[in-house]
Structure 1
Amino acid sequence: MARPTDTRSRSSRGPRLDAPKGLRTSMLGSRSNRPSRDRFGRFTEFIARAMGTPWFLLGLTLFCIAWIAFNSFAPDRVRFDDAALGFTALTLVLSLQASYAAPLILLAQNRQDDRERVQIEQDRQRSERNLSDTEYLAREVVALRLLVKDMASKDFIRAELRSLLEDLEKRDSGSGDERADRGGDQRTGDRVAKGSRTA
């Protein structure tokens, strides 16, 4: 009687080998509690891509204009950044944005470099496979050419058959002449024998 397998004991022993790698359970437990590096990398790429668009520059410009206009023309009691101090809060906000933007852009560039490195490696492996396949096919073509060169062509076979037929015809005509000569010699011998008998 077969025992029912316990899925908890199987997952505690190690990763399953009958499932694709992405679907295997981790030995250290579920990874859903930990933040994904890939998710953060996609987020950095999204930020870097968004910061490189004209819409981001337009939005940042409108934000700065609205900030300066509000703190310049609004009543004194609602202003939060003084123009006399050179809009210190705006400067701090823009510095904070720049200080976070630079590392996010660098992270996105690093991810792009990693992707390009993997792509270059795959292209190199693909080109090596193509080169080896091409060399194999070239060797096969050369071998086929050599085999075809060794094979007799129709013209060669016809020429050989004609020469054989000519040889056979010569042999047949030569053997017919020999037979005729032998027959003539035999007739003269018979005449000589008859003459000797009569004498």
Structure 2
Amino acid sequence: MKQSPFPPHYRHEHGPIKNVNEVIKERLTIGQKAADWIAAKVGSWHFIIGQSLLLTLWALLNVTAWVRHWDPYPFILMNLVLSLQAAYTAPMIMMSQNRKADHDRIEAHVDYEVNLKAETEIQVILENLEAQNTVIAEIHKMLEELRNKRAGET
């Protein structure tokens, strides 16, 4: 292993920074993936438009009697279906949101750790620069003394 030319005070070592998204994605359970999928689908315009078309078709078919009335006005069966849909999708959406809030907390913690590492590295760089400034000032002083000494000899 190559030896660093800098004293231990100027060296800094830390572990790799992890991608929070990859770590969390690896740990997802099937239920969490399903909740995210449902939340993504239900919270989209495709779902809203599709459901609106389906409900309009349901109402038209039952009001106009083009097909046998399976759910006459006031559409009690349709209300039951919508209630069941809401009863199952709302908790899944909440599970997905809660998990995403946990994800945000973990991401904030990782950001904090990155900031601490950056602060440590910046401090090491500043100390190194200060040491270099001190050495440069000493060299400058020595050169001035040499120049003055030579000027005095001539």
TM beyond 0.5:
yes
2:130 is matched with 142
Cα root mean square deviation, aligned: 1.9
Provide the secondary structure at the position in 2 that maps to 1:133: helix
Q: Which has the higher contact order (CA 8 A, sep 6+)?
A: 2
Provide the secondary structure at the position in 2 that maps to 1:109: helix
Give the whole-Å Cα distance in 1 for the aligned partners of 2:85 and 2:52.
13
Give the whole-Å Cα distance in 1 for the aligned partners of 2:126 and 2:149.
33
1:159 is matched with 148
2:41 is matched with 50
1:71 is matched with 62
Give the whole-Å Cα distance in 1 for the aligned partners of 2:146 and 2:83.
92
**1:116 positional shift:** 1.0
**1:146 positional shift:** 1.2
Provide runs of 4+ in structure 1 moved above 4 Å.
none
Query: Taking structure 2 as the reference length, what is the TM-score of the superposition?
Result: 0.75
Q: Given the alignment, which residue of 98, 106, 110 partners 1:110?
A: 98
1:80 is matched with 70
Q: Count the aligned residue pairs.
A: 127
Give the whole-Å Cα distance in 1 for the aligned partners of 2:66 and 2:146.
112
Of all paired residues, the percent bearing the same amino acid is 24
Q: Given the alignment, which residue of 78, 82, 87 partners 1:90?
A: 78
Give the whole-Å Cα distance in 2 for the aligned partners of 1:155 and 1:72.
103
Give the whole-Å Cα distance in 2 for the aligned partners of 1:139 and 1:154.
24
Query: Taking structure 1 as the reference length, what is the TM-score of the superposition?
Result: 0.59
2:15 is matched with none
**1:60 positional shift:** 0.8
Deviations 1:25-81 (A, max 9, x none): xxxxxxxxxxx96222111111111111111110110111111111112267x3211
Q: Which runs of 5+ in 1 are unaligned?
A: 1-35, 167-199
